[in-house]
Structure 1
Amino acid sequence: MKSIKTNNAIVHFNDNVYKELNAYIKSSNPSKIFILVDTNTHDACLPKFLSQVESGDIVVEVMEMPEGEDHKTIDICTGVWEAMSEYYADRKSLMINLGGGVVTDLGGFVASTYMRGIDYINVPTSLLAMVDASVGGKTGVDLGNLKNQIGIISEGSMVLIDTSFLETLPNNHMVSGYAEMLKHGLIKDKSYWNTLINFESLDASALNEMIYDSVVIKNKIVSEDPTEQGLRKILNFGHTLGHAIESYFLGNADKVPLLHGEAIAIGMLLEAYISTKTAGLSNEELKEIEEGILKTFTKVEINENDQKVIINLLQYDKKNSHGKVKFVLLDAIGKPKINCEVNNDILLEAFKHYNA
Structure 2
Amino acid sequence: MQTIEAATYPVHFHQKGYKALRKLVTDKKYSSIFILVDENTLTHCYPVFLEKLQPTFDVQLIEIPSGEIHKNLETCVAVWNKITALGADRKSLFITLGGGVITDLGGFVASCFKRGIDFVNIPTTLLSMVDASVGGKTGVDLGVLKNQIGLFANPQMVIVDDEYLTTLSPREVTSGMAEIIKYGLTYDMKLFNQVKESKEQQINELIHRSIEIKNEVVLQDPKEKHLRKILNFGHTLGHAIESFYLESASKETLTHGEAIAIGMICESYLSSKLLNFSAAKVAEIKETILSIYPKITLEKEDFSEIMELLKHDKKNVSGNVNFVLLFDFEDYKIDCKVSDALIIESLEYYNR
Normalised by the shorter chain, which TM-score bucket? Answer: over 0.9
CA contact (8 A) 2:266 2:347 kept: yes
Counterpart code for 1:161: V
CA–CA distance in 1 between the matches of 2:59 and 2:27? 17
Alpha-carbon displacement from aligned partner over 1:154-178 (angstroms, at most 9, x marks no partner): 1111000011010000000001001
**d(CA) in 1 for partners of 2:190 and 2:52?**
37
Give the CA deviation at 1:318.
1.2
Residue 219 of structure 1 is matched in structure 2 by 215
Aligned partner (choices 319, 323, 329) of residue 319 of structure 2: 323
Deviation at residue 54 of structure 1 after TM alignment: 4.9
What residue in structure 2 maps to residue 309 of structure 1? 305
Q: Distance in 2 between matches of 1:41 and 1:303?
A: 35
| C-alpha distance in structure 2 between counterparts of 1:145 and 1:267, whole Å | 17
Q: What residue number does 1:191 align with?
A: 190
Q: Could you list the runs of 5+ residues in structure 1 that have no partner in the other structure?
A: none
- How many residues align structurally? 352
Q: SS at the partner of 2:147?
A: strand
- Deviations along 1:9-58, one digit per CA (max 9) or x if unpaired, are 110001312111111111111111000000000000101212333543x4
Cα deviation for residue 354 of structure 1 reads 1.1
SS in 1 for 2:283: helix
* Kept after mapping to 2: 8 A contact 1:25/1:55: no
Give CA deviations for 1:212-253 in whole Å, capped at 9, x if unaligned. 000001110111000001110110000000000000000010
Helix, strand or coil at the partner of 1:319: coil
Q: How does 1:13-52 map to 2 (within 5 A)?
A: 13-52=13-52
What SS is found at the alignment partner of 1:233? helix
Partner of 1:256: 252
Is the contact made by 2:162 and 2:204 (CA closer than 8 Å) also made in structure 1?
yes
Specify the alignment match of 2:176 in structure 1: 177
CA contact (8 A) 1:237 1:271 kept: yes
In the TM superposition, 1:105-184 aligns within 5 A as 105-184=104-183
For residues 104 and 221 of structure 1, the distance between their equivalents in structure 2, rounded to whole angstroms, comes to: 20
C-alpha contact 2:17 2:160 (8 A) present in aligned 1? yes
AA at the equivalent of 2:166: E
Contact 2:125 / 2:176 at 8 angstroms: preserved in 1?
yes
Structure 1 residue 341, shift from structure 2 partner: 0.2
Q: Does structure 2 retain, via aligned residues, the 8 Å contact 1:121–1:159? A: yes
Are 1:207 and 2:203 matched, yes or no?
Answer: yes
Question: Which residue is equivalent to 2:7?
Answer: 7
Q: Name the CA distance, whole Å, in 1 between partners of 2:120 and 2:62.
A: 15
Instruction: Report the RMSD for the aligned CA atoms in angstroms.
Output: 1.0
Q: In the TM superposition, what whole-angstrom CA distance separates every residue of 1:67-110 from its partner, at most 9, and x where no partner exists?
A: 11111111110000001100110001000000000000000000
Gaps of 5+ in 2: none
Hey, what does 1:234 align to over in structure 2?
Answer: 230
Please give the residue correspondences for 1:287-302 in structure 2 after superposition, counting only pairs within 5 Å. Answer: 287-302=283-298
SS in 2 for 1:151: strand
Q: Which runs of 4+ in 1 moved over 4 A?
A: none
1:244 corresponds to which of 228, 231, 240: 240
Tell me if the contact between 1:137 and 1:154 (Cα under 8 Å) persists in the aligned partners: yes
Amino acid of the residue matched to residue 214 of structure 1?
A: S
Q: Contact 2:19–2:53 (CA<8 Å) still a contact in 1?
A: no
How far 1:270 moved relative to its partner? 0.4
TM-score for the superposition, normalised by structure 2: 0.98
Q: CA deviation at 1:206?
A: 3.9
Secondary structure at the residue paired with 1:83? Answer: helix
SS in 1 for 2:59: strand
In the alignment, structure 1 residue 272 sits paired with structure 2 residue 268: yes
CA distance in 2, matches of 1:210, 1:190: 12
2-structure distance, mates of 1:169, 1:54:
23
What TM-score does the superposition give when structure 1 sets the normalisation length? 0.97
Report how far residue 280 of structure 1 moved.
3.0
1:332 aligns with 2:328: yes
**Partner Cα distance (1:132, 1:7) in 2:** 16
2:127·2:179 contact (CA, 8 Å) conserved in 1? yes
**Aligned residues of 2:140 and 2:146 also touching (Cα < 8 A):** yes
Does the CA contact (< 8 Å) of 1:77 and 1:110 recur in 2?
yes
